[in-house]
Amino acid sequence: MTTFVLVHGGGDTGWYWHLVEGELRARGHRTTAPDLPNDDETATLDDYAAAVVDAAGDHRDLVIVGQSYGAFSATLAASRVPARLLVLLAGMIPAPGETPGQWWANTGYRRAAEEQARLDGGRTGNDDPLITYYNGVPRALAEEALRRADRGESTVVYDTPWPLDAWPAVATRFILCRDDQFFPPAFLRRVAQERLGIVPDEVPGCHCVALSHPADLADRLVSYLA
């Protein structure tokens, strides 16, 4: 039995993972999805990572999954616990000494998003979060997610350099979402190759794929245990 520690993205809560948790538990695994202290303006990146470590507890067969902005916390936590695997889901892959605030310009995100928006009629990066983040999520579920994903984000974390000198010594996989209208798939393929030297795995679904395609995502996560 593997324990999946599921780390949510910016401004969100552990509730984001509830459908995936059900799918993973039905497959015989444990899950935990902590709320990061992102509603605390004074919280640090170390506080974020500590919340992940606390959720991992004393379990030894661990898979840490970090979604989007949660990749900064998940990778730091993976350096502190005996994880068997680190999975970044549409994740912001950090570089040593880089702050989350610097990541956008360093990776060329804005240009990539603008180029994709020209191709898809302005859906990528749209001002409507139901288009950018929740395309493909049932409307009632998306509206519930929006109500919950309004906790703010610590500016301390946003301006804190990722403190590791090198990538954690743990096997790493990257998953991108084919219908992501926030992080264009072509952009994530490039960044994953440049920063991790790996080709991402792909699943159907939007940026908030844990809500749009929970079973597909759970299948992919469980496949890594073979």
Percent of the chain having pLDDT more than 70? 100
- CA 141 to chain centroid: 19
Tokens 């509206």 sit at which residue?
Answer: 143
What pLDDT shows up at residue 151?
82
Q: Summarize the confidence of residues 107-132 as an average pLDDT.
A: 97
Q: Which residues of 125-157 are buried (b: 16+ CB within 10 A; e: fewer)?
A: bbeebebbbbbbbeeeebeebeeebebebbebb
For residue 86, give its domain range: 3-223
Show the tokens assigned to 52: 């992940």
Give this prediction's pTM: 0.96
Q: Over the stretch 10-62, which tens digit does the pLDDT of each residue have? A: 999 999 999 999 999 999 999 999 999 999 999 999 999 999 999 999 988 99
User: In the beta sheet, which residues pair with residue 175?
Assistant: 89, 201
Please check the confidence at residue 71 and state whether its pLDDT lies above 90.
Answer: yes
DSSP-derived secondary structure letter, 7: E
Q: How far apart are CA 49 and CA 7, in angstroms?
A: 10
Q: Over the stretch 81-103, which tens digit does the pLDDT of each residue have? A: 999 999 999 999 999 999 999 99
Which of these ranges, 59-63, 125-129, 150-154, has the smallest mean pLDDT?
A: 150-154
Q: Supply the mean pLDDT for the chain.
A: 97
Q: What is the number of domains present in the chain?
A: 1
What pLDDT shows up at residue 7?
98
Please check the confidence at residue 74 and state whether its pLDDT lies above 90.
Answer: yes
Please check the confidence at residue 152 and state whether its pLDDT lies above 90.
Answer: no
**Pair 73, 7: CB distance under 8 Å:** yes
Question: In which band, very low, low, confident or very high, does the pLDDT at 104 lie, cut at 50, 70 and 90?
Answer: very high
Please check the confidence at residue 150 and state whether its pLDDT lies above 90.
Answer: no
What pLDDT shows up at residue 149?
87
Q: Summarize the confidence of residues 154-180 as an average pLDDT.
A: 97
Looking up residue 122, the CATH number of its domain turns out to be 3.40.50.1820
Exposed, middle or buried by CB within 10 Å (0-12, 13-18, 19+), for 165?
Answer: exposed
Which residues are CB-contacts of 209 (< 8 A; sequence separation ≥ 6)?
Answer: 89, 90, 177, 180, 203, 216, 217
C-alpha dihedral (4, 10, 11, 14), degrees to nearest 10? 0
Q: Over the stretch 186-215, which tens digit does the pLDDT of each residue have? A: 999 999 999 999 999 999 999 999 999 999
